[in-house]
Amino acid sequence: MSKTVLVVDDSTSMRQMVSYTMEELGFDVIEGVDGQDALGKVSGQKLDLVITDLNMPNMDGMTLIRNLRAEDSYRFIPILMLTTESQAEKKQEGREAGATGWIVKPFDPEQLTKVVNKVVR
């Protein structure tokens, strides 16, 4: 009964790193290359966590978060944003879209693990 995480990032290297870390933590990983791709892959799918980048083609992170939150199944799951900007606006906007928390790039697997453990067990 492992948990499932959705990892969304258009950067392959970042995505791989996050996915690998999550797998090490015992998660099943679904990967998306952008918001649109991610949505396509998870309709009906059970998710326990979402980690998404913000800047992506086709559908950016914010829109993805809003779309996820609009679905009943995903109203309450933790959603983490990957952001390179530590400015307050992004965090605020994310909060308004319904994000749970954020991780600031650059980060390493340790930091990622710490944040993940805050929001999902």
Partner 1 sequence: MNIDLNKFRETFFVEAEEHLETMESALLTLETTPDDPELLNQIFRAAHTIKGASSTFGVEEVSRFTHVLENLLDRLRAGELTATPDLLELLLNATDVLTALIEAEKNQTDLPEEKEDVLQRLKIANGMDADHQEDEAAVESDAAPTDSLEYRIKFVPSENFFRFGLNPLLVIEEIDELGEVTACIPDLRQLKPFPAMNAESCYVAWNIEFEGAVSKDKLLEVAMFFDEETVFDVTPVNPPAPEPQTDPEPQPAAAAPPAAAQGEEAAAAPPAAAPKAKKAPVKVKDSVRVDRERLDNLINQIGELVIGTSMVEQEWYRDNQHAESAALNQLGKIVRDLQEMSLSLRMVPIAATFQKMARLVRDLGKKLDKKIRFETEGEKSELDKTVVDKIGDPLLHMVRNSVDHGIETAEERLAAGKPEEGRVCLRAFHQGGNFIIQIEDDGRGLNREKIFAKALERGLVSEGDKLSDEEINGLIFQPGFSTAAAITDVSGRGVGMDVVRRNVEALQGSISVQSTTGKGTLVTIRLPLTLAILDGLIIRSNQQVYVIPLLSVVESICPSKKDIKKILGKGEVIQLRGEVVPLLRLNSLLAVRGEPVPVDTNSLLVIVEDQGRKFAISVDELVGQQQVVIKNLETNFQKVPGMAGATILGDGRVALILDVNCLGTLKASTPSHGNNADAETNGTAPKLINQSDIPETSDGSPKPAEDGSNSVAPAASDLSSDLQKETNQ
- Is residue 70 at the binding interface for partner 1, with CB under 8 A as the rule? no
Binding mask 78-117 for partner 1 (x = CB under 8 A): xx--x-x-x--------x--xxxxx-xxxxxxx--x---x
Structural contact between residues 30 and 5, judged by C-beta atoms closer than 8 angstroms: yes
H/E element holding 68?
Answer: helix 61-69
Residue type, 33: V
What distance in Å separates the CA atoms of residue 57 and residue 20, rounded to the nearest whole number? 23
Residue 33 vs 62, nearer CB to partner 1: 33
Q: Find out whether 16 and 69 touch, Cβ atoms under 8 Å.
A: no
Per CB under 8 A, 77 contacts partner 1: yes
Residue 96 tokens read as: 């308004």
58 binds partner 1 (CB under 8 A): yes
Residues 18-47 that bind partner 1 (CB under 8 A): 20-21, 24-25, 28, 30, 33-34, 36-37, 40-46
> Is 53 in a helix, a strand, or coil?
strand
* Integer Cα distance of 22 and 16 in angstroms: 10
| Interface residue list for partner 1 (CB under 8 A) | 1-4, 10-14, 16-17, 20-21, 24-25, 28, 30, 33-34, 36-37, 40-46, 48, 53, 55-58, 69, 73, 75-79, 82, 84, 86, 95, 98-102, 104-110, 113, 117-121
